[in-house]
Amino acid sequence: MTTNAISLGTPEPEPRGTTHDFPLSSPGSDDLHTLIGTVLQALSDGAQQRGGPVPAGEPVELAGDVRDALGPLLLREGRGVGVLASLTEILARGAVDLADPAWSAHLLSPPLAISAAADVAAAILNADLTSWDQSPAGIIIESEVVRAMCTLVGYDPDAAAGVVTSGGTESNLVGLFLARDRPGGPGPAHGRSVVYASRSAHFSIRRSARLLGFPDENVIPVETNARDQMDPDALRAALEGGTREGRWPACVVATTGTTDFGAIDPVEDIITISRAHGAAVHVDAAYGGGALFSGKLASLLTGIDGADSVSLDLHKFGWQPIGAGVLLTRRADAFAPMAFEAPYVNAADDLRAGHLNHTDRSLRTTRRADAFKIAVTLQAVGTERLGEMVDHCHMLARHAARRIALTPYLALACDPVLSTVVFRYVPRADVPARSDAVNVSLRRRILAEGKAVVGRTELRTRKPSVWLKLTLLNPFMTVEDVDWVLDVITSAGSLEDGGDTS
């Protein structure tokens, strides 16, 4: 037993000055104006010090510079607000400029300025979507963003549901969880439950399955065709085989926009076949979902409205700062396996009184109002302009493919579908080991020189297996920019092939 001793002595003096030196983030405060001004200035100073679109140098040099500039983090006495400027400078100096055409490596888009600015508002307010009393407007805005995304994929927004997530990885995990625990199945982590996905599905599918208790061998790889799309006949055969062996098909995962080729699985066929075998269908549209904005490309995703759940990622096509994922389900009751009771979040009487929240659909509890920047972007830009931006990236990819096909010493892996282009530099002695070595080193060369960041991938079915990749997500890049990047690659390739380095 403890006793509550009441001290009647003189109170300890207040610690010196802390509240005044470091004011809280509060809308309308002069301090925030000053600090944000400092950040913007330091970002531009840092970019200038970098002196190019990407930081030049070898990893050890860069790491050393950053550590030196950073200094120790656990200081007994802090250094004061000046740190904001110096550390922002370091961050920017060692960053890549996503808006520069020299960046075309990964599925990370340059965010729109308006969206980044909107995101600052969410950060300043620290709007938390866990419960109504922490951000009523944020929660309503999330509801409306989800309804808009349901409409975009063709779901009935009155019957469907969804939640804003940190990205495709979280959306895929929750999508697989809802499929695994849907009514009629054998329940959590049952040894008979299996997931079907093509070999080109994103790695987060296999890892989510593992987290959800599916042994690796219960994630059945479905064969793909020459264009990297899931082969419906192979899916049918796999499902039939599974049924014969007494397995329960928890989920078939279709990918619309694979990470390398942007390949789009035939969703309509996959849904028909999966339904016939009692499997749920999750569509990973993290990359290709953006095609829904485009009048030209939307038909690639025909049938997506029949899927049980869909992952979208607006920090790819969508030009949002990270994170801006969305998970949608065709039916709202699909989220039942996520249900929980916590009186400080979802007391029944509060919910009846209109204290809405979507925490019963989210893996996370405390959650930023990422829906806000999405809402601002959708309304400011409009779907037509977003579609034109997607189309522009697609056009750039087609241009790059044509250029590659016409350039001696470059070889195209296959025609682009969305906005990625996979190709390689062809050395004079074109044997797989030589080609792999040259492509590996040319990519690192142009990165170390601070010229450009190009992607790299490995194609398991091919020899040579190392390929380069342009991921074109910059809606303001021009065809001349694409030509420039290809020229940089060709020159670096010829230097590497000359054998005069390393």
Ligand X SMILES: *Cc1c(COP(=O)(O)O)cnc(C)c1O
> Which residue ranges make up the site for ligand X (CB under 6 A)?
107, 167-169, 172, 202, 204, 255, 257, 259, 284, 286-287, 313, 325
Q: Minimal CA–CA distance to 145: which of 297, 306, 327?
A: 327
Longest Cα pair distance anywhere in the chain, in angstroms? Answer: 88
- Residue whose CB is less far from ligand X, 170 or 497: 170
Q: Shortest Cβ distance from residue 429 to ligand X (Å)?
A: 35
Q: State how far the alpha carbon of 83 is from the alpha carbons of 23, 26, 39, 416, in Å.
A: 15, 20, 11, 45
- Residue whose CB is less far from ligand X, 284 or 305: 284
- Residue whose CB is less far from ligand X, 169 or 357: 169
Find the angle CA(360)-CA(362)-CA(365) to the nearest 5 degrees: 90
Sorted by sequence, the CB contacts under 8 Å of residue 492 that are 6+ apart come out as 442, 443, 445, 446, 451
Q: Shortest Cβ distance from residue 177 to ligand X (Å)?
A: 15
Q: Shortest Cβ distance from residue 267 to ligand X (Å)?
A: 13
Q: Shortest Cβ distance from residue 326 to ligand X (Å)?
A: 10
Written as six digits, the tokens of 434 are 């030589």
- Residue whose CB is less far from ligand X, 202 or 236: 202
- Residue whose CB is less far from ligand X, 263 or 396: 263
- CA pair distance 152, 285, nearest whole angstrom: 12
The DSSP string of 47-86 is: HHHHTSSS--S-HHHHHHHHHHHH--S--SS---THHHHH
Q: Shortest Cβ distance from residue 458 to ligand X (Å)?
A: 17
Cis check for the bond before 323: say yes or no (omega within 30 of 0).
yes
- CA pair distance 34, 449, nearest whole angstrom: 36
Written as six digits, the tokens of 460 are 């398991």
Q: Shortest Cβ distance from residue 284 to ligand X (Å)?
A: 5
- Residue whose CB is less far from ligand X, 312 or 492: 312
- Residue whose CB is less far from ligand X, 202 or 392: 202
Mapping DSSP onto H, E and C, the string for 183-204 reads CCCCCCCCCCEEEEEECCCCHH
Residue written as tokens 């930023």? 368
Residue 489, amino acid: I
Q: Shortest Cβ distance from residue 103 to ligand X (Å)?
A: 16
Signed CA dihedral, 68, 73, 79, 80: sign only? positive
Q: Shortest Cβ distance from residue 311 to ligand X (Å)?
A: 7
Q: Shortest Cβ distance from residue 173 to ligand X (Å)?
A: 9
- CA pair distance 152, 163, nearest whole angstrom: 15
Residue 377 CB coordination number (10 Å): 22
Q: Which residues pair with 281 in a beta bridge?
A: 252
- Residue whose CB is less far from ligand X, 46 or 168: 168
Q: State how far the alpha carbon of 367 is from the alpha carbons of 122, 163, 362, 499, in Å.
A: 11, 11, 9, 52
Q: Shortest Cβ distance from residue 497 to ligand X (Å)?
A: 32
- Residue whose CB is less far from ligand X, 390 or 446: 390
Mapping DSSP onto H, E and C, the string for 428-472 reads CCCCHHHHHHHHHHHHHHHHHCCCCEEEEEECCCCCCCEEEEEEC
- Residue whose CB is less far from ligand X, 200 or 329: 200
Q: Shortest Cβ distance from residue 496 to ligand X (Å)?
A: 29
Q: Shortest Cβ distance from residue 315 to ligand X (Å)?
A: 6
Q: Minimal CA–CA distance to 203: which of 470, 473, 467, 457?
A: 457
- Residue whose CB is less far from ligand X, 174 or 486: 174
Cis check for the bond before 464: say yes or no (omega within 30 of 0).
yes
- Residue whose CB is less far from ligand X, 169 or 309: 169
Q: In what order do the strands lie in the sheet with 410-412?
A: 103-104, 453-458, 466-471, 420-425, 410-412
